[in-house]
Structure 1
Amino acid sequence: MPVDQSVIGRKLPPSTMTVDAGRLRFFARTIGETNPVFTDLDAAKAAGFTNLPVPPTFLFGIEFDNPDSFGWLAEMGVDLRRILHGEQSFVYHATAVAGDELTSTPIIGNVYSKKGGALEFIEKTSTITRADGALIAELKSVIVVRNPEVGQ
Structure 2
Amino acid sequence: MPVDPSVIGKQLPPTTSTIEAGRLRFFAEAIGETNPVFTDLEAARAAGHADLPVPPTFLFGIELENPDSFAWLADLGVDLRRVLHGEQSFTYHSTAVAGDVLTATPTIGNVYSKKGGALQFIEKTSKVTRANGDLVAELKSIIVVRNPEAGK
* Cα deviation digits, residues 84-130 of structure 1 (max 9, x gap): 00000000000000000000000000000000000000000000000
TM-score (norm 2): 0.99
Q: How many residues align?
A: 152
Match of 1:147 in 2: 147
* Cα deviation digits, residues 47-97 of structure 1 (max 9, x gap): 000000001200000000000100000011000000000000000000000
Which secondary structure state, in structure 1, belongs to the residue aligned with residue 57 of structure 2? helix
Match of 1:27 in 2: 27
* Cα deviation digits, residues 119-146 of structure 1 (max 9, x gap): 0000000000001111000000000000
Which secondary structure state, in structure 2, belongs to the residue aligned with residue 96 of structure 1? coil
User: 1:2 & 1:46 partners in 2: Cα distance?
Assistant: 52
Q: How does 1:48-63 map to 2 (within 5 A)?
A: 48-63=48-63
Percent identity over the alignment?
Answer: 78
User: 2:2 & 2:77 partners in 1: Cα distance?
Assistant: 9
Runs of 4+ deviating beyond 2 Å: none
Match of 1:108 in 2: 108
Match of 2:84 in 1: 84
CA RMSD of aligned residues (A): 0.8
Match of 1:119 in 2: 119
User: 1:129 & 1:75 partners in 2: Cα distance?
Assistant: 25
Counterpart code for 1:35:
N
User: 1:88 & 1:151 partners in 2: Cα distance?
Assistant: 28
Displacement after TM superposition at 1:151 (Å)? 3.3
Structure 2 residue 6 is matched with structure 1 residue 9: no
User: 1:151 & 1:58 partners in 2: Cα distance?
Assistant: 39
Counterpart code for 1:107:
T
Consecutive unaligned residues of structure 1, counting only runs of 5 or more, are none
Match of 1:98 in 2: 98
Counterpart code for 1:89:
S
TM-score (norm 1): 0.99
Structure 2 residue 19 is matched with structure 1 residue 39: no
User: 1:103 & 1:42 partners in 2: Cα distance?
Assistant: 27
User: 1:58 & 1:34 partners in 2: Cα distance?
Assistant: 15
